[in-house]
Amino acid sequence: MKFDIELVGKIGSMALIRKAEHDIDYNVFSRVGRELRPGMIWVSSGAVEIGRLDYIKRTGCELTGPKSAIMTDYSAQGQAILMEEYRRYIPSKYSVRQLLVEHTHFNDSEKRKYIYELLLRCPKQNAIPIVNYNDTVSFEENRRWELEQLRSKGQKGVVECIDNDETASVISTLVHPKYLLILTSVNGIYMDPNDPSTLVERVEGKNADEVIAHVDELQDHCFGASRSGAGGAKTKLEFIKEPIRQGTTVMIANSRYRISDVLSGNCPRTIFQTR
């Protein structure tokens, strides 16, 4: 099977944070950045949380006011730091490009095509795209109204992408990568989230439909999320179904491990693939 891109990767906000110290986990940025190379697309959460931590450091307090405004302000502050850290650790011989996306970009065929062409130019130009949802300009009330307008016109496959797990899945569906890698703060998918020994290491089938049937079964065992507003494991599993249908091998693993170790199976992970 021919793939347009080697890997689409995604890392969650909590995987980039040392929660107990209320600070960025620079080791994670270093570990990820050193291994990114052209042919990879990296979807990174973290702008809002990093912006929040930075604001608290500078002022000693959190922002108050409407939630949408707070999210916007934290995101605007965190985006600069997020990109600064990736640029710091990605090898200097590679270009780094930021791509801020919104739901409207993927729900419009012309914009979707334009993003596709941009992403496929990056490997040829020795560049690594860092993708994030554009919280700065897309607030909840307006976003929901726009999505409802699209659905009322009968448009199929409308995506929201406010969850970067969905953003990574939509991009995977767009560029057809060999691998979709989702890095989180846990080792993968568990039959019992409270029992580390129940890690599901492999989800396989003779074809994509059989793999997805197993994914459906796993969703019954998933609940909870790492933070308020996150979708959690059940939502992650829903988003990976379309990439699986297209032949992409999906892996969910802990951000403490190197990308190369996850891909080679030299660390705990959950892998979804056809035999």
Banded model confidence at residue 103, pLDDT cuts 50, 70, 90: low
**pLDDT band for position 142 (50/70/90)?**
very low
Number of domains composing the chain: 1
244: CATH: 3.40.1160.10
The reported pLDDT for the residue numbered 112 is 87
Residue 205: pLDDT over 60: yes
Q: Tell whether the model's pLDDT for residue 230 goes beyond 60.
A: no
Torsion of CA 89, 176, 135, 235, to 10 degrees: -110
25-81 pLDDT per residue, tens: 999 999 999 999 999 999 999 999 999 999 999 999 999 998 888 988 999 999 999
Residues 51, 84: contact at Cβ < 8 Å?
no
Residue ranges making up the domain that contains 134: 5-274
Average pLDDT over residues 194-203: 93
pLDDT of residue 78: 95
Q: What pLDDT score was predicted for residue 140?
A: 52
Per-residue pLDDT at 222 exceeds 80: no
Rounded mean pLDDT, 136-144: 52
DSSP string over 20-75: GGTEE-HHHHHHHHHH--TTEEEEE--HHHHHHHHHHHHHSS---S-HHHHHHHHH
